[in-house]
């Protein structure tokens, strides 16, 4: 069992950091409205407002920002401002024991996938795959997306079925296991490194944005050759946005081609990823995937 962070309470202070790409300060106030609606106080990390071609400041600045937020006992959660790229550059310098000793809500997705998998492996904590603050402006999130933030305050089991969005069974069956994963590109980037993601016996979530069918095929093949698909117990196929040269149905057909021979339960169509609504879920907790009934159940991520 991984360490679940403590639930948030109204009035808590949460940290906002830019551990990947930079974000323009002029757009920041609108992006913090949701946190304020939730009754949270915000502490800005030193990386917020830092600029660069594609990184928010230097590696040292982003690493120090993360460590400072982890060590600050007043900060009850860490929210990532935006993704892009940059997480992997500091993975080998993070003090994972510090995080184990100071577990707190860690929220984000996309490039943040690198943190999710590393924190699960080396800090043994539950993290949250949810919308970046850069996409949570007052009128940019659906009611469903906003409701998912409530899981940080009141622990509840998430049940995702076709009452939320249409789903498609790619491979039938039922499976129970820890849910892990995230962005397909970033997961493939970990292969062959100390931070290679662990799929063994787990339900694997996969999503991505702006990739061609050829690239998605190539990455799935790399997961096949590295035996990650074989090791996984089941598959939750999240949203694939802005597909170059194909449709979402083409992507699902590609997944079916790779996954059907394995006989592991797989369901596609979950609005988890670069999409709206973006259904936030905890990673590192037990989940049940019923591919026959097209239902995903996930245990709470906070205590």
User: Which stretches of the chain are DSSP H helices?
Assistant: 28-31, 33-37, 59-71, 96-101, 113-118, 143-147, 184-189, 213-225, 228-231, 248-259
Fold of 158-298: Glucose Oxidase; domain 1 (3.50.30)
Q: Within 13 Å, how many C-alpha atoms sit on residue 263's CB side?
A: 0
Radius of gyration over alpha carbons of the chain, in Å? 18
Question: Does residue 175 surpass a pLDDT of 60?
Answer: yes
- Residue 141 confidence class, pLDDT cut points 50, 70, 90: confident
Tell me the percentage of the chain whose pLDDT exceeds 70.
Answer: 99
pLDDT single digits (tens) 78-89: 999 999 999 999
pLDDT single digits (tens) 52-74: 889 999 999 999 999 999 999 99
Beta bridge partners of 175: 289
Greater pLDDT, 136 or 93: 93
- Is 207 marked active-site? yes
Q: What is the pLDDT of residue 15?
A: 98
Residues of the chain with CATH 3.40.50.10740: 13-152
**Which residue of the set 116, 129, 239, 274 is catalytic?**
274
**Which residue of the set 134, 145, 178, 207 is catalytic?**
207
* 0.95 exceeded by pTM: yes
**Which residue of the set 110, 129, 178, 211 is catalytic?**
110
Burial grade of 117 (CB within 10 A; 0-12, 13-18, 19 or more): buried
Question: Does residue 31 surpass a pLDDT of 90?
Answer: no
Question: Does residue 239 surpass a pLDDT of 60?
Answer: yes
- Residue 139 confidence class, pLDDT cut points 50, 70, 90: low
State the CB neighbour count (10 A cutoff) for residue 170. Answer: 22
Distance CA 79, CA 72 (A): 14
- Is 129 marked active-site? no
Residues of the chain with CATH 3.50.30.60: 158-298
Q: What is the pLDDT of residue 137?
A: 59
Q: What is the pLDDT of residue 174?
A: 98
Q: What is the pLDDT of residue 30?
A: 80
pLDDT single digits (tens) 106-135: 999 999 999 999 999 999 999 999 999 887
Burial grade of 285 (CB within 10 A; 0-12, 13-18, 19 or more): buried
Assess if CATH 3.40.50.10740 describes domain 13-152. Answer: yes
Question: What are the strands of the beta sheet with 75-80, ordered from one edge?
Answer: 41-44, 13-17, 75-80, 105-108, 127-129, 281-283
Question: Does residue 289 surpass a pLDDT of 70?
Answer: yes
Tell me the percentage of the chain whose pLDDT exceeds 90.
Answer: 90
- Is 110 marked active-site? yes
């Amino acid at each position: 069992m991984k360490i679940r962070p403590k639930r948030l309470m109204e009035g808590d202070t949460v940290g906002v950091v830019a551990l990947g790409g930079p974000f323009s300060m002029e757009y920041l106030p609108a992006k913090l409205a949701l946190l304020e609606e939730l009754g949270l106080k915000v502490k800005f990390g030193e990386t917020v407002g830092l600029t660069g071609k594609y990184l928010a400041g230097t590696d040292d600045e982003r690493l120090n920002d993360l460590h400072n937020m982890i060590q600050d006992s007043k900060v009850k959660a860490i929210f990532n401002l935006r993704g892009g790229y940059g997480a992997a550059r500091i993975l080998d310098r993070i003090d994972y024991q510090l995080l184990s000793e100071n577990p707190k809500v860690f929220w984000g997705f996309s490039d943040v996938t690198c943190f999710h998998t590393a924190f699960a492996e080396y800090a043994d904590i539950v993290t949250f795959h949810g919308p970046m603050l850069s996409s949570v402006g007052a009128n940019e999130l659906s009611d469903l997306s906003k409701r998912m933030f409530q899981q940080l305050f009141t622990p509840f089991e998430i049940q995702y079925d076709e009452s939320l969005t249409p789903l498609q069974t790619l491979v039938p069956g039922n499976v129970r296991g820890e849910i892990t994963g995230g962005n397909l590109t970033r997961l493939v980037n970990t292969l062959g490194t100390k931070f290679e993601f662990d799929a063994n016996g787990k339900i694997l979530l996969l999503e991505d944005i702006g990739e061609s069918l050829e690239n998605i095929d190539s990455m799935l093949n790399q997961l096949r050759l590295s035996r990650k698909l074989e090791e996984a117990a089941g598959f939750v196929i999240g949203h694939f946005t802005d597909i170059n040269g194909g449709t979402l149905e083409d992507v699902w057909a590609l997944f079916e081609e790779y996954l059907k021979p394995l006989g592991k339960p797989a369901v596609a169509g979950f609005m988890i990823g670069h999409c709206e609504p973006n259904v936030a879920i905890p990673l590192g907790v037990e989940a049940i995937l019923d591919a026959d009934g097209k239902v995903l159940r996930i245990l709470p991520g906070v205590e």
